[in-house]
Amino acid sequence: MGSPHADEPSYKKESKEKLKARLTPLQYKVTQEEGTEMPFHNEYWRNKEAGIYVDIVSGEPLFSSLDKFDSKTGWPSFTRPLAAENIVEHKDQKFFMERTEVRSKHGDSHLGHVFEDGPKPTGLRYCINSASIKFVPAKDLEKEGYGKFKSLFGKANPSH
């Protein structure tokens, strides 16, 4: 993922056929059909390793472990996006309630929802499906094309 020029990222969505071939059925259902994975039975809800989370479809950076917290909901939760320019919000009125859906800008992936019941400093809870994201450990940021985020984690790469 990433581009050959780290300072000139190019995040794109592949064709439906390529996505179906590359993604797992759950990743496809969540990102392309606005599905939801099971709480407490997903890849990243308990991940405490330092690094960033990127869109599984396009590779665009979305969230950081530095903003991750345990919301007790069983899904990865963040207080803010790492790169707000890569997040798009839409009103979602499915299931007889009004929520704010969170999507990736370039991949147009359904990520989850944002709620106003998170901790300080933002008061927000970005509740994200693990199936819509890929974790890139801090130690691999340069290698994976996300070197510009390496300085966030310092030399010790603290876990959260």
Is the CB of residue 53 less than 8 Å from the CB of residue 144?
Answer: no
CA dihedral 63, 130, 70, 137 (to 10 degrees): -50
What are the pLDDT tens digits along the chain (160 aa)? 444 444 446 788 999 999 999 999 999 999 999 999 999 999 999 999 999 999 999 999 999 999 999 999 999 999 999 999 999 998 876 766 678 999 999 999 999 999 999 999 999 999 999 999 999 999 999 999 999 999 999 865 444 4
Which tokens in the block code for residue 21? Answer: 């071939």
Residue 65 CB burial class (10 angstroms; 0-12, 13-18, ≥19): buried
Give dist(CA 78, CA 70) in Å, integer.
9
For the domain made up of 38-139, give the CATH fold.
Answer: 2.170.150
> For the whole model, what pTM was predicted?
0.89
Contact (CB, 8 A) for 100 and 91 = yes
- N-term to C-term CA, the chain: 24
Return the structure tokens found at 90: 């839409």
Catalytic residues: 127
